[in-house]
């Protein structure tokens, strides 16, 4: 590009990085609220995040940034490929920001901090009425946001677009229509098999400190860089950060091994995506995720396709026994593998098995879509939640803490987020099918403790490109096919039918 265009691009990058670094600071404030902040600091944190959100909104909607984007887009063909990606994606997010009034953006941020603090208390007390007024307020604000952004068919589309750009509720419904019937059929086959793994193996005494040490050992082996990240405890597992400062959280239960361990591998999958971006582009869209669905594909792949695989446990089981000798010495590998892959409807999403997990997402998608479209009142939410849990999973929560209050998402106004979990499962299966085709001995590599082959493949194919390609295009580029639910269905059948003695 010529000197004047180069100068314009350099100034654009400077403004872009300021915005991204300010947003990253907001992520650290959120991490602190969940991990370390004293409870009484919630009002102050709300003021801090609202102030920061206002500053970011001003930068996103500044006339100068718009002028620079106009200049770059007018000379698009003269820009390098990375510059085209950065200008395209900044145009998308700044156009969205300009539609949202500054005051509304700040009010949402302020409410998020207070609603999250109330959610923590309400969950501890299993008291939905305590949280309900905050949920009402958050939903009202998100409706205002959707109306300001605009949409063609559904308010929900405007909110979903923030997490899975260009996706629509209609498309999500089509995915569920293709995916759910074979999953429901597989659940039926498993239930009728009569086989029940020894799940009590997971509920023996697993001291928390040893769980923490074993979890850190495992994510190091998988490739998470603890020199550029850390692990803490929070009420709901989460990941925030980028490249050299990735914060993971999990939660421990001495008498349930799987929750913390697989939760941590899940979050480490997110973390390895963040650590895998091209550092030359730090602070720009080129070094951020293609979508939340792609982000979830990384966490779900490491959690389920690797962490719950027989090959992983052939490698890791002796180490498990070394960390927990009193609880595991009498356990056979085959019984342990069956236990960590038990298919049994659970009221808790983050503890759900691979097969039933997506039914949890369908439930949340249907409910939050009705909440946004004002077809469902907040006061009626717990009863409907329990009804749908009974219908879809046959597992009614014992209380609201295990039911409608179990997820942090709605306290933060993250409406439209949940479908990305199922998209992540779908993308993960298709990507994993491709890497196994390229490395036919991948499972043997896992058995020998080689997980870097997969990590390096993901670094090159998924992580490093950042937002070069949009989600569906990225999947097509890497796998040679458009995203397709059949890969997930085939994976689930191939894994769980033999485990439960079901003929194909």
Would you kindly state where each structural domain of the chain is located, as residue ranges? 3-150, 169-499
Model pLDDT for residues 363-397, shown as the tens digit of each residue: 999 999 999 999 999 999 999 999 999 999 998 99
In this prediction, residues 12-27 reach a mean pLDDT of 97
Under 8 Å between Cβ of 164 and 177: no
Angstrom distance (rounded) from CA 444 to CA 467: 32
- Annotated catalytic, 436? no
Which of 148, 55, 53 has the alpha carbon at shortest distance from 105?
Answer: 53
Angstrom CA distances, 120 to 116, 123, 396, stand at 6, 5, 22
| Mean pLDDT rounded to a whole number for the chain | 96
pTM of the model: 0.95
> Residue 412 pLDDT > 90, yes or no?
yes
According to DSSP, residue 243 is labeled T
SS (H, E, C) 394-411: CCCCCCCCCCCCCCCHHH
In this structure, what token pair is assigned to residue 92? 């998308």
Model pLDDT for residues 203-249, shown as the tens digit of each residue: 999 999 999 999 999 999 999 999 999 999 998 899 999 999 999 99
Helix and strand numbers (H, E) in the chain are: 21, 3
Angstrom distance (rounded) from CA 434 to CA 87: 31
Q: What are phi and psi of 249, to 5 degrees?
A: -135, 155
- Please, which residues have CB within 8 angstroms of residue 93's CB and are 6 or more apart in sequence? 60, 285
**Percent of the chain with pLDDT strictly greater than 90:** 97
Q: In degrees, to the nearest 5, what angle opens at C-alpha 73 toward C-alphas 70 and 75?
A: 115
In this structure, what token pair is assigned to residue 440? 């036919």
In this prediction, residues 429-454 reach a mean pLDDT of 98
Angstrom distance (rounded) from CA 408 to CA 115: 10
Q: What is the pLDDT of residue 274?
A: 98
In this prediction, residues 260-274 reach a mean pLDDT of 97
> Of the listed 145, 164, 189, 267, which one is catalytic?
267
Q: How many alpha carbons lie under 13 Å from residue 20 in its C-beta half-sphere?
A: 22
- Please, which residues have CB within 8 angstroms of residue 320's CB and are 6 or more apart in sequence? 214, 313, 328, 336
Model pLDDT for residues 52-65, shown as the tens digit of each residue: 999 999 999 999 99
Q: In degrees, to the nearest 5, what angle opens at C-alpha 63 toward C-alphas 60 and 66?
A: 70
Domain 169-499 -> CATH class: mainly alpha
Q: What is the pLDDT of residue 447?
A: 98
**Count of residues for the chain?**
504
Angstrom distance (rounded) from CA 183 to CA 301: 18
> Residue 1 pLDDT > 90, yes or no?
no
Angstrom distance (rounded) from CA 74 to CA 64: 15
- Find the distance separating the first CA and the last CA of the chain, reported in whole Å: 58
Model pLDDT for residues 104-163, shown as the tens digit of each residue: 999 999 999 999 999 999 999 999 999 999 999 999 999 999 999 999 999 999 999 999
Q: What is the pLDDT of residue 504?
A: 72
Q: What is the pLDDT of residue 503?
A: 85
Confidence of residue 310 (pLDDT cuts 50, 70, 90): very high
Angstrom CA distances, 273 to 106, 239, 292, 301, stand at 29, 11, 11, 12
> Residue 351 pLDDT > 90, yes or no?
no
Model pLDDT for residues 69-97, shown as the tens digit of each residue: 999 999 999 999 999 999 999 999 999 99
How many C-beta atoms lie closer than 10 Å to residue 496's C-beta? Answer: 20
Give me Rg for the CA atoms of the chain: 23
């Amino acid at each position: 590009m010529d000197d004047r265009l180069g100068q314009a691009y350099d100034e654009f990058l400077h403004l872009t990085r300021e915005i991204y670094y300010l947003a990253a600071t907001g992520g650290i404030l959120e991490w602190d609220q969940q991990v370390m902040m004293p409870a009484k600091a919630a009002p102050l944190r709300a003021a801090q995040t609202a102030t920061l959100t206002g500053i970011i909104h001003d930068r996103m909607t500044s006339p100068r940034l718009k002028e620079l984007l106009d200049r770059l887009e007018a000379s698009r063909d003269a820009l390098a490929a990375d510059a085209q990606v950065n200008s395209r994606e900044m145009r998308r997010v700044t156009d969205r920001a300009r539609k949202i009034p500054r005051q509304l953006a700040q009010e949402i941020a302020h409410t998020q901090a207070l609603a999250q603090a109330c959610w923590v208390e309400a969950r501890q007390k299993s008291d939905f009425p305590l949280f309900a007024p905050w949920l009402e307020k958050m939903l009202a604000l998100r409706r205002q946001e959707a109306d300001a952004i605009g949409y063609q068919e559904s308010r929900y589309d405007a909110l979903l677009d923030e997490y899975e750009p260009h996706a629509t509720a209609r498309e999500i419904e089509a995915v569920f229509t293709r995916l759910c019937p074979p999953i429901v059929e597989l659940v039926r086959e498993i239930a009728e098999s009569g086989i029940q793994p020894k799940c009590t193996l997971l509920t023996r005494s697993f001291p928390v400190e040893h769980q923490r040490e074993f979890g850190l050992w495992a994510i190091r082996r998988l490739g998470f860089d603890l020199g550029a990240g850390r692990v803490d405890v929070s009420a709901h597992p989460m990941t925030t950060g980028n490249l050299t400062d990735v914060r993971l959280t999990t939660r421990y239960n001495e008498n349930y091994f799987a929750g913390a361990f697989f939760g941590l591998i899940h979050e480490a999958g997110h973390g390895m995506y963040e650590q895998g971006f091209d550092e030359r582009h730090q602070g720009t869209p080129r070094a951020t995720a293609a979508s939340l669905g792609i982000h979830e594909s990384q966490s779900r792949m490491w959690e389920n396709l690797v962490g719950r695989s027989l090959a992983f446990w052939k490698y890791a089981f002796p180490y498990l026994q070394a960390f927990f000798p009193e609880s595991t010495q009498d356990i056979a590998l085959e019984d342990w593998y069956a236990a960590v892959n038990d298919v049994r409807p659970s009221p808790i999403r983050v503890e759900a098995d691979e097969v039933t997990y997506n039914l949890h997402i369908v439930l949340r998608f249907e409910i939050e879509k009705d909440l946004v479209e004002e077809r469902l009142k907040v006061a009626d939410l717990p009863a409907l939640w329990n009804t749908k849990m009974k219908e879809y999973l046959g597992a009614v929560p014992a209380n609201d803490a295990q039911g409608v209050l179990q997820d942090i998402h709605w306290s933060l106004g993250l409406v439209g987020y949940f479908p990305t979990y199922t998209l992540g499962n779908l993308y993960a299966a298709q990507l994993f099918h491709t890497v196994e085709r390229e490395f036919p001995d991948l499972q043997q590599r896992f058995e020998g403790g080689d997980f870097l082959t997969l990590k390096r493949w993901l670094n090159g194919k998924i992580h490093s490109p950042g937002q070069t390609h949009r989600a569906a295009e990225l999947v097509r580029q890497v796998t040679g096919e458009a995203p397709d639910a059949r890969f997930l269905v085939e994976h689930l059948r191939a894994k769980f039918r033999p485990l439960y003695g079901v003929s194909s």
